[in-house]
Amino acid sequence: MVPMLKIRMEEIKLFSQYIHDISGIYLDENKRRFLETRLHAIAEEQGCASYQELYQKSKTDGAKVIERKIIDAISTHETLFFRDSDPFDLLRHKILPELIDARAPNKRAPALKAKLRIWSAACSTGQELYSVAIMLHDLLKDLSRYSIRLLGTDISDAAIAQASSGKFNKFEIERGLSRDKLTKHFTPSGPTWKISDQIRSMVTFHKFNLMQPFTGLGKFDLILCRNVAIYFTLEDRKKLFNKIADILAPDGYLLIGLTESLTGICPRFIPKLHLGSIFYQLPPPRPAGP
């Protein structure tokens, strides 16, 4: 076994800044072991004698292959189907029914489809967004009456590739997915399980860096940005949630992680409590003056 390459303090600072620049993820000086564990295999693959050399190779790699490998390595892909029961109870019993009612097809113009736009802003390998798609499939009587756009984005190429495939191994399937949902919405595919074409057709996945401008994303009725901003600096969190506020529908909903809060980060959002879970909305628009 090749001994793990040790990272020097100046290399920790170098990579912390580099990783922040390319991903928005902030790593402090206590992340020595994390960086060694995540970057050692890449350094070995590239034949680097030091992390300084790996940094230089990545910076001069015009194709950005090494940069993508580094992002994939340092990204946290911890996710599962219907992760955390409380937010999904909130989605099932309040948020999605209210959005469905608010966006219901117009009886006066039945040919016009009701639009529903949902964004999973750090979708990882897709389980969160597929969970929402499954819930919508079960709640809506006739999907053909709706124009549904479920968008999942992540900074990791590897995560987006798996999410797009719609295939999950036995371990991933068993994390959060009930037996009835498994048999209803998945089929065996060799050593993996593949999500049904009907559910897969509801979602789209793209690589996206949350530090970039949100130009062209459009407006969303529901945004899930759970357990990602905890890896950002306070200043970056403020910028992120202000950008999210800009693209949330006036009556839309924002869900963040159970241990997260927008207090002192984005006063544009109003926290609300239902079924023991907190969600966020924008204040109602002020009535027009005389």
pLDDT tens digits, one per residue of 189-224? 889 999 999 999 999 999 999 999 999 999 999 999
What tokens appear for 165 in the block? 């495939």
Phi-psi domain of 112 (left: phi exceeds 0; alpha: psi -120 through 50; beta: other): beta
- Specify whether the CB–CB gap between 80 and 176 falls below 8 A: yes
Q: What is the pTM of this model?
A: 0.91
- Specify whether the CB–CB gap between 12 and 48 falls below 8 A: no
- Distance of alpha carbon 243 from alpha carbon 121, whole angstroms: 12
High-pLDDT (> 70) share of the chain, %: 95
pLDDT, mean over the chain: 91
Name residue 256's amino acid: I
Length of the chain: 290
- Distance of alpha carbon 269 from alpha carbon 283, whole angstroms: 7
What confidence score (pLDDT) does residue 77 get? 76
**Residue 151 forms beta bridges with which residues?**
119, 204
pLDDT band at 108; cut points 50, 70, 90: low
By mean pLDDT, which of 231-235, 243-247, 272-276 is the weakest? 272-276
What confidence score (pLDDT) does residue 107 get? 60
* Kind and range of the H or E run holding 288: none
High-pLDDT (> 90) share of the chain, %: 76
Q: Pick the more confident residue, 106 or 209.
A: 209
